[in-house]
Structure 1
Amino acid sequence: MKYIVTVKKHFMVLESAIIGHVLLIAMIFYFYCLTDNQDGVLVILGVTYLISMLPAFFLHIEYYTANKHDTVDIDTLSKTITFNDGQPVSFNDVEKVVLYMPPVWHRKGFIRLLPFEDYHYAKIMMKSGEQFTFTCLLASKVEEVMKTMRGVLIEKKKRVIASALFE
């Protein structure tokens, strides 16, 4: 299966953020236009929104810069993985895969309350010392993709914010 960054995958990852935008606009409209009690509510909504959206914004930029020109082809029949149309690498040459995910992904939850909980990635570590970052912009469920590489050790690490800056 070939994985590349597409516009559709951007929107799939941004789904929580888009819903958050719509809810915020609805709440602002309600408190600003339909009620007289709006003094601190708008400030609280704005601060809460920024606290939840800023990490998602930075993660999206980080993930996009990590994978914007990448293609990954995982062939489960021949048990090879190809990065950026290079030479195929055998699953046997992969030392391990380290998954960095928020707690909601560890407990297999589907309700994500914060926009940055949708972001997760894997580091594919080769026995040669090379590493490749596989983000959720390549595939929306990174863990499922990594599990297709039978025989490769998968290690999971919890991160509230799954950023390579916090490794």
Structure 2
Amino acid sequence: MTQTLRFLEDGLASDQIVALLDLHLREMHAWSPPCSVHAMSVERLRAPDVTFWSAWDSEHLAGCGALKHLDAVHGEVKSMRAHPDYRGKGVGKAILVHLLEQAKARGYSRLSLETGTSDEFAAPRGLYAAHGFEECGPFSDYEPDPFSYFMTRTL
């Protein structure tokens, strides 16, 4: 199934994308204290330092992901999300592979991310670790936070 995914650089205009990102933000707030939620709003994802992709299975939204430009050699994974209908079907892996390819094409030598520490984030942490990400300290503007788990990898 994931071989058929089509990735589109997305302006976040469709109702489907907005609904998926709304679900994402609601779950992040349900799983972490408000001061520890670093998921971006739709408006923030439209900023020039972020590139957002939607992943489509035919005409069905399967998921999304974004890269935030930190500097000439360092990017950040943001808004990685599989649609609920596609969880456990390899969509997260396909999105992550796409983001890694895009980061390399941009000339980044490092890609980092922040995720949560609670059990709800165990599967994403495992996915990132399986693709070479290792635990690290806070990067960019992040501060130490017991609810944040920071990971990075060289490209």
TM, length-normalised to structure 2: 0.25
Q: Quick check: which one's strand share is greater?
A: 2
Structure with larger RCO (C-alpha < 8 A, sep 6+): 1
- Which of 1 and 2 has greater Rg? 1
> Which one has a larger percent helix, Structure 1 or Structure 2?
1
